[in-house]
Every structure is written in C-alpha cells, then in structure tokens.
Amino acid sequence: MFDSFFKFDENGTDYKTEIIAGITTFLAMAYILGVNPSMLVEGGMPATAVFFSTAIASGIACIIMGLVAKFPVGLAPGMGLNALFTYTIILEMGSSWEAALAAVFISSIIFLIITVSGLREAILNVIPIDLKLGIGAGIGFFLAFLGFKGAGIVVSDSSTLVAMGNLLAPSTILALIGMLITLVFHIKKIPAAVFFGMLITAVLGVIFSFLGFGTGNPLMPSIPAQVISVNFDMSLFGGFLSGFGQLFSNIPNLFMMVFSLLFVTFFDTTGTLMSLGRQCGFIDEEGQAVGIENAFLSDAVGGIVGSICGTSTVTAFVESATGIGMGAKTGLAAIVTGILFLLSVFIAPLILSLFTPSVTAAALVIVGFLMMAQLDDVHWGNQVIAASVFMTIIMMILSYSISLGIAWGFLAYFVGSIAEGRYKEIGWEMYVLVIVFLVYLFFGL
C-alpha cells in the first residue's frame, strides 16, 4: 500500500531510506522545540504551552505535507517568523498574543487563497530559473551559517559584526569533530552519513561531559535527569479566537501585521520549497518544481494549524535538506518527521538534551555544502544573472533572512534587465513585485 501510494520504485527510494531521512530531518529541526518557547515567552505566552503547541502543530503539518504533497519536507514554526511575531507584532506594536495569533490565522488563510487561485504560480513564474538556483544555493550558505553560529564557531563582534569564536571551547571542539566525522562519512559514501555523524557526535558529547570536559555548557549534549514528560498544557489552543476584536480595532496595524507575515511567509516558503524540490529532483524541463502546488497548499494549511494550536506561523524548514541529502524522495519521510514531533511531547527532555546546536551543526554545514552545487547551472557569463545571484546569496547571509536575500536579488535582476533595454519583456507582475520589495526594504513592513 505504501509502495503504491508513495511510488518508491519510481522515485528510486525505499522504506529504510525514507524512515532514516525522516528521523534525520526531525533531529535537524528539533531545536525549534526549545527555541520557539524561549522566544514566544517574551511575548507573554507560557513556555510549557508553547512547547506543546509547537510539537503538535509541527507534527500535524508534517503529516499533511507527506500525505497531500508527498514532499519529504518538514514544517514547524519558522525562525524569523517567530521573531516577527514576538518582537514586532507583540512587543513593538503592543498587540496581545491572542491578536498576534489571529493575524497569523488571517495571513495563512490569504496564503491559502493565493495558492488555490493560481496567483501564487503567476508570482512564482516571474522569478527566472537562474535566480531560483541562486536562491537554493543561498539557502545552503545560510544553512551553513546557522550551523557555524549555533556551534559558536562564528560569533557576533562589536567591531566587525561577526568574528571567529573560541575554537577551544568544548562545544566548538565537539562541533568541529562532528563536521569532520560527517564529512568523512559523506566522502566515503557511507549510507545515512549525516544521521550517523550526528549520532556519533551526540554520543561523544555525552562522554565529554561525563569526563568533565564541557560539563554544564548548554551547547553540550547530556543525559537529562527526567527523560519522560507528561506535562501537556493546551491553554493556547483556540486562543486566536479572542484576538480578532483587538486585531480589527486598529486597521493600519492589522494591515501591517498581516502583510508582514504574508510577505515573509510567501517568499521564505517560495525559496525553501523551490530549492528543496530541485534537490529532490522534482524539476521538469522548464525548471519548474513538479507538484509544488500541493506543497504550497500543505504549507498554507500548516500555518492555519499553527495559529489554531497557538504558535507562530508554521512553514517549510530548510533543515529538511538534511533528510533529502540522505536520499528522501517521498512524503513518508515527512510523515516520520511529523510522528516524531508528536511523540516528542513525551520525550522532550531527552531530545533537547542530546541534539544541541553543537551536534546538529555538522548536518547543517555539510548540507549547505551540498546545496551550493546548484551554482554549477547558473549562467555566469550573463552579467545580470551573475549580479542578481550574487546579491541573493550575500544579502541572504548578511541580513540573516531568506526573504530579504530574495528581495535584493530580485531588484538587482530588475535593474539589470532595464539597463539591458529589456523593459518590454518584463510583465506587470515584475513591476508589482518590485514595488512590494521596495516598500518592504525601505519601510521595514
């Protein structure tokens, strides 16, 4: 039944590959179970309830993606979107968390309408194939940067913005060892190289801590005192319903909230799904991702589920590339990831203790390296293409935002095309997007 539904033979995969890939994707995404509560709690939401909402919403959304789109893509509350939710909508605009959840619900509904109506496809087709390749490679660089940052290899610096961290720190040494182990596994073409690289790194980290090297460091993995947890707090479920009153009491704020959430969701999702679809090989002769409509539909529904459960916007995760890098080609991988998210409500202490940023750093860096290979197909001889791809990648990293990187690359392509005198070839969608991007960049919506 599973073979016929997911078409394993046609996609060149099997049960074992999909299950291991699904587990790997979950492990690469599991950090959100700790990060999301720590961020949303600053907006007045209870941490335990946020954790439970995050796990349930992510699990349901992943399973929807696996069944409807059959894409091996995991979904969870998006990084960046949770910051927008907490620090802008709640703290800066003075909205309640209930109103913020209502804004997430409305923006996800609009995203669903855009997807179903075909307008999303029209906007998506405006983006040139080469720019799509640049977006994918940029996400790879961004992914690697996340790994380096999480492991403490790259740190903030008041003089140079970023600098190299203390390489003698236990957590950093562990991350470097993990990267070397995973790289060797990959070069030797060992099956499930990324997964086993993380697993061995986690075991080594526990041994280091047991021997007193890095004990107490939150970036080091450890065995928790409590392995099983049954503290289920569902107080946030349905909380968005009581937020509509405040949300519609201030129409300008309503517009800014919904537009900001919709904009970031759309372009983050666009960049992520196009890149992951290409990495899976789901690309036709015209460079379009086959079946991506259902993937966008699943993503939009995931956002709605997230708002109902009581968390910030749920969206596709770039960390899904870890599972795809191991050979995932079907929705079974996403379903496995979803089931593990649901089960994580019971074993959360163990998950958060073992798979710390120092452990997952190796997976993020190696997968980033693999995604960089998409640059081979870029037409570097075309100066407009070269400039737009460069701006996409460099600004995605420096701005710490996938959507901002897309905006800068898109504007570079538009200006270059006008300079070449090809303004008649540019459709009206291009001009609309340029205006939206300019407003987004210069007015910070």
* Range of the structural domain that residue 339 is part of: 2-375
Whether 290 and 144 map to the same domain: the answer is yes
What is the mean predicted confidence (pLDDT) over 362-366?
Answer: 83
Q: Which residue has the higher pLDDT, 382 or 133?
A: 382
Give the end of a domain, one of 333, 356, 375. Answer: 375
How many domains, in total, are found in the chain? 2
What is the mean predicted confidence (pLDDT) over 356-377?
Answer: 83
Q: Which two tokens stand for residue 169?
A: 């720190």
Q: Per residue in 48-99, pLDDT tens?
A: 889 899 999 999 999 999 999 999 999 999 887 888 898 878 987 888 999 9
- What mean pLDDT, rounded, does the chain reach? 86
Cα separation, 168 vs 344, in Å, equals: 33
Cα separation, 221 vs 351, in Å, equals: 9
- Paired with 314 in beta bridges are 77
Whether 334 and 439 map to the same domain: the answer is no
CA dihedral of 21, 342, 319, 314, whole degrees rounded to 10 = 140
Whether 296 and 390 map to the same domain: the answer is no
- How big, in percent rounded to 5, are the helix, strand and coil portions of the chain? 70, 5, 25
Whether 274 and 348 map to the same domain: the answer is yes
- Total-model pTM: 0.73
Whether 57 and 146 map to the same domain: the answer is yes
What is the mean predicted confidence (pLDDT) over 278-289?
Answer: 66
Q: Which two tokens stand for residue 89?
A: 């909508």
DSSP 80-107: THHHIIIIIIIIIT---HHHHHHHHHHH
- Angle (CA) 205 206 211, round 5°: 95
pLDDT band at residue 287 under the 50/70/90 scheme: low
pLDDT band at residue 389 under the 50/70/90 scheme: very high
Give the end of a domain, one of 351, 375, 399. Answer: 375
Q: Which residue has the higher pLDDT, 403 or 366?
A: 366
Indicate the SS3 state at residue 316: strand
Give the end of a domain, one of 375, 392, 409. Answer: 375
pLDDT band at residue 28 under the 50/70/90 scheme: confident
Highest mean pLDDT among 191-200, 275-284, 361-370: 361-370
Is residue 361 predicted with pLDDT exceeding 70? yes
Whether 425 and 328 map to the same domain: the answer is no
Cα separation, 85 vs 310, in Å, equals: 12
Q: Which residue has the higher pLDDT, 149 or 308?
A: 308
- Alpha carbons within 13 A on the beta-carbon side of 342: 11
Q: Which two tokens stand for residue 384?
A: 């407009």
What is the mean predicted confidence (pLDDT) over 109-132?
Answer: 81
Whether 349 and 434 map to the same domain: the answer is no
- DSSP structure class, residue 161: E
Cα separation, 15 vs 247, in Å, equals: 46
Whether 411 and 267 map to the same domain: the answer is no
Whether 264 and 366 map to the same domain: the answer is yes
Whether 361 and 383 map to the same domain: the answer is no
Question: For residue 1, what pLDDT is reported?
Answer: 66
Whether 276 and 353 map to the same domain: the answer is yes
Whether 268 and 328 map to the same domain: the answer is yes
Highest mean pLDDT among 29-33, 164-168, 275-279, 430-434: 164-168
Cα separation, 77 vs 311, in Å, equals: 7
